[in-house]
Structure 1
C-alpha cells in the first residue's frame, strides 16, 4: 500500500490551518507546517510532521522549507495556502502599512507558496493547490476595502492559474468561507470596527468552526485526480452576506 503523500500547510498555528493539519494528519499524510509561532505548531503534536518558523512573505524561506520537507517525506502533492491577515478599516483613516501587510501576506504569500511546489507538480503531472480565500473574495463588505481587494486577487489568480495548469494535471481549488471562529479579527486595530463585526457575527448565529473549512479542504483534495472542485463557498447558515 502506497503511503499518503506530503501536504504543505501555511498559517498552520491556529484556526483553519491547525484544523486542516489535524484533519490531513488523521488521513495519514506527512505534513510541512509553516507559521511564525513555532511553539503552536509543535504543540499540535502530529506525527511525521516538520514544523518550521517561516513568514510566507519570505520567498526563500518558504522554498527552503519545502525542499527540506520533500527530502524527508517525498514530493509535495498539495499545498494549502492558508496564511493571511484581515485588517479591517476605513481607507480614509486606515494606516497604509496595514494594506501593505495584507497584500504581502494574502497575495504575495500565496504566490510564493505556489512557486515553491509548482515546478515539481508540473514535472510529475499531478498535484493540488488549495488557496484559502473568503466570501470577501466574491462580494464587498463595509470597512473591508483593502482586505476585499486581496481576496478578489486570490480568486482571480486561482482561476487564471487553473486555466494555465489544466493541461498539466495539476488542480487549483479555492475555498471561500464566510466568517470563521479564528484569530483574524483580533489583528484589526479599530476597536469600533471590531465591535461592529462581532455584533454582526452574533446576529448571524455565530461563525463557522474551522473544522468545517478543514473538511471542505479534505473533500476537495480527496477527489480523483481527474476531478477538480474549482471552488467551495461555505458560511454559517445564518450569515446573509
Structure 2
C-alpha cells in the first residue's frame, strides 16, 4: 500500500473532511488545509501523523510554504486532492461580480496553485497523483449557476489538459465530479431566490442528496489503483438526481 504524503485542501467539512477520515484510517500521513482549522482539529482523526495548516488556496505563497513544511516531516507529496471550493448560486443578472471572482479564484486558481506547487517534483520522480474535485456542473449547465458552472468547466478543462501534458512522466491527473451532495456549500449563498429554487429541486429527490462519504470512497478508489492505471474521471450522484 502506498504511504506517501497526502495533501487535502478544504479539509474542514464536506468532501474534504470525509477524504481526510478515509486516508487517516489507513494510516497515511496527512497535510490538511483549510481556512477553518478549528473545525479540522475537531474531526475524529488520529492526529499522530497529521499536520493542520490554515491556508487560503488563492495564496500560492502560503500554500507552497505549508506543503514544504509537511514534506520536511513526512516526505514528498504523493497525492494532492484539490478539494477546496465555493458555490455561490445566483442569477448572472443580479449576482454581485465579487462572488464571481471569489468562485473563479478559489475553484480554478486554487487548483492551479496546488498543481503548480507539486507537479514538477512529481514529474521528476515519475510518481504522484493529483485528484481535482469538480462537479457535474463542470460539464452540464444549471439555472442560477452561471459563474459556478464556469469555474467547474474550468476545472474539467485544466485537468484534462494537464493530464495530457504529464502522462508521459507517469504522473496521474484525475477528476471527481459529484452531483448535489449533503455539504456546507450552500451556507454562503446570498441569493435567496436561487437558494429557494435549489431547495425545491432537492425536494424532488426526496430531500436528501449524495452522502459525501461515497465521494471520499471514490477518491480513495482512484488513488489505490496501480500507478500505471489512471481513472481519468468519476461522475457520481444520487440515483434520484435526474439532472
TM class by shorter chain equals over 0.9
Separation in 1, partners of 2:16, 2:36 = 12
Count of aligned positions: 240
- Superposition pairs of residues 1-241 of structure 1, within 5 angstroms: 4-44=3-43, 45-47=45-47, 48-205=49-206, 206-241=208-243
Cα displacement (A) at 1:63 = 0.3
Separation in 1, partners of 2:28, 2:120 = 21
Separation in 2, partners of 1:238, 1:31 = 34
In the superposition, the TM-score normalised over structure 2's length comes to: 0.97
> Residue by residue, what CA displacement relative to the aligned partner does 1:65-95 show, whole Å, maximum 9, x if unpaired?
0000000001110100000110111111100
Structure 2: gaps of 5 or more residues? none
Separation in 2, partners of 1:38, 1:68 = 16
Cα displacement (A) at 1:3 = 6.8
Separation in 1, partners of 2:22, 2:231 = 18
Give the stretch that moved more between structures: 96-105 or 198-207.
Answer: 198-207
Closer, same or farther: CA 146–3 of 1 in aligned 2, 3 Å: closer
Cα displacement (A) at 1:193 = 1.2
Cα displacement (A) at 1:46 = 3.0
Q: CA RMSD in A?
A: 1.0
Local SS of the residue matching 1:79: strand
In the superposition, the TM-score normalised over structure 1's length comes to: 0.98
Give the stretch that moved more between structures: 202-211 or 140-149.
Answer: 202-211
Residues 5, 29 of structure 1: 8 Å contact kept? yes
Separation in 2, partners of 1:89, 1:38 = 28
Residues 6, 78 of structure 1: 8 Å contact kept? yes
Separation in 1, partners of 2:177, 2:130 = 14
Separation in 2, partners of 1:29, 1:198 = 37
Cα displacement (A) at 1:225 = 0.5
Separation in 1, partners of 2:40, 2:60 = 20
Separation in 2, partners of 1:202, 1:64 = 44
In the TM superposition, structure 1's runs of 4+ consecutive aligned residues that sit over 2 Å from their partners are: none
Local SS of the residue matching 1:68: helix
Give the stretch that moved more between structures: 172-181 or 185-194.
Answer: 185-194
Separation in 2, partners of 1:198, 1:220 = 31
